[in-house]
A and B are shown apart, each in its own frame.
Chain A
Amino acid sequence: MDYLKRGFGALLLGGLLAGAAQADGVKVGMITTLSGGGAGLGIDVRDGFLLALKMAGDAGAAVEVVIEDDQRKPDVAVQLADKMIQSDQVDVLTGIIWSNLAMAVVPAATAQGKFYLSPNAGPSQLAGAGCHENYFNVAWQNDNLHEAAGAYANDAGFAKSFILAPNYPAGKDALTGYKRFFEGEVVQEVYSKLGQTDYAAEIAQIRASGADSVFFFLPGGMGIAFLKQYAGSGVDLPVVGPAFSFDQGILQAVGEAALGVKNTSQWSKDLDNPANTAFVAAFQAEYGRLPSLYASQGYDTANLLLSAMAKADVDDQDAFRAALKAAEFDSVRGSFAFGPNHHPIQDIYVREVIQEGDVFTNRIVSKAMEGHSDAYAADCSM
């Protein structure tokens, strides 16, 4: 009995000590998608984030992370955010993958004085008039990769593009982003249904359109379906798209249908800088798979947080914000800085899908844009 009591005492004391240690640390609430069809993205963000903490040793151990699954549902994400802010009392929120979930959570969280570091979603509303001093996007503004695809299309000499995206806000942003930089003619613009999996009708329209190139933004399963059907259709126009349909997680499912396709990304596993080399090796060693774009964004988000923690205490909001804004960490993307609206200024590359042994992956072929910011920064008054 005595033994038991002492055991409880030790546990209690341990708990108190841990509590005391965390006064200097930061508590992070991660809301991300860990179940259902979109789980691959959330899992990669989470794994990249936790890997960075682990590699940071003691500094990483000072970060306590509460992870919850939003099931890709805005209402669930809002509930989780309320719970994390009110009962878990987190200092920083992060993790959301989808723009509609971010729009439901971020404005309320930042209004309550929490920091939000976005590892993926970058809706235009939060980059322009709706920007907030406590909101930092570590990935990209949603339009960025599409804009780079437009710039690449010019370099590649495409004159007539057929452009395709699902009929929802991010799909419209995608086509707008492409057209913002593409100087040729858009021969046909098609909005497919969100979640559509059969593209025979669109492919027939591509064949009949007289275009010399195809730009598409179809994230997740839609992209897999489109690429497989396009490859089997006998149409052989060059295709370009943002990295979302070509990330490490889904390339294996597309297989040889994706070989040679050009896609635009701010990151690639063969980017030659020490931070990236270390990241790719450590990720493979830890999880036994190649990292994706999303994993790199989770990893950068954690390193940004650690860099700010090294300079300022999270309770001193102004100092902590300035430390985040400085972004003095070794990004796996190489050069990285925040613009005036706390969105990245970064290089965006053109990648090509290749096969290495049994594995389909990407390699960089050129740089599409250098030091690229976004079109909404001017609307942000911060």
Chain B
Amino acid sequence: MLSKNDKKVLTDPLISNNPIAMQVLGICSALAVTTQVKPAFVMCVSVIVVMCVSSMVISLLRTGLPSRIRIIVELCVVASMVILVDQFLKAFLFDLSKQLSVFVGLIITNCIVMGRLEAFALMNKPFPSILDGLGNGLGYSIVLMFVAALRELLGAGKLAGIPVIPQALIDLGYVNNGLMVLAPGAFILLGLYIWAQNSLFPPKAGK
């Protein structure tokens, strides 16, 4: 169904050109919303929706878009999308939107979104642009879910709110690692992830 090029656009950002691990974009939200799995998941879905739709819109506008105001127009589109997502969450997923509080609004400042609009959607047709948005959103999600799962597991002994550390282990003196709940825990995990990725899938030289 997808052409070879389309597939590359979709799958490249998952691992080999991952926006967080390779381009080191979007770090701020990767640190902020990854203390627990559930809010991280809703954040991922929101980012994917925002990226797909705004990539499509900017790609549709690309031929008539005056280059001198393109950043402002991009910002306008992204901000509108984010507010829309926030409004929908408040109307239909009230409890989760309360948990995420300010972080949904902060998708506007996520550099991945603007970065992909500038780098891809401005120069490509709508369909590949949507794929690019989806791919990068998924790449972002992979790293976020990895960090969130480890932080919740090591920091609170739970996964998605369900305790997974056996009581017997706690009775033996097992203690949750409080560092994982704090921001430095995310930094360390993210650093390890980037290191692992670079050793397993080294970036092509001379790029």
User: Are A and B bound to each other?
Assistant: no
The chain A residues found within 8 Å of chain B, CB to CB, are none
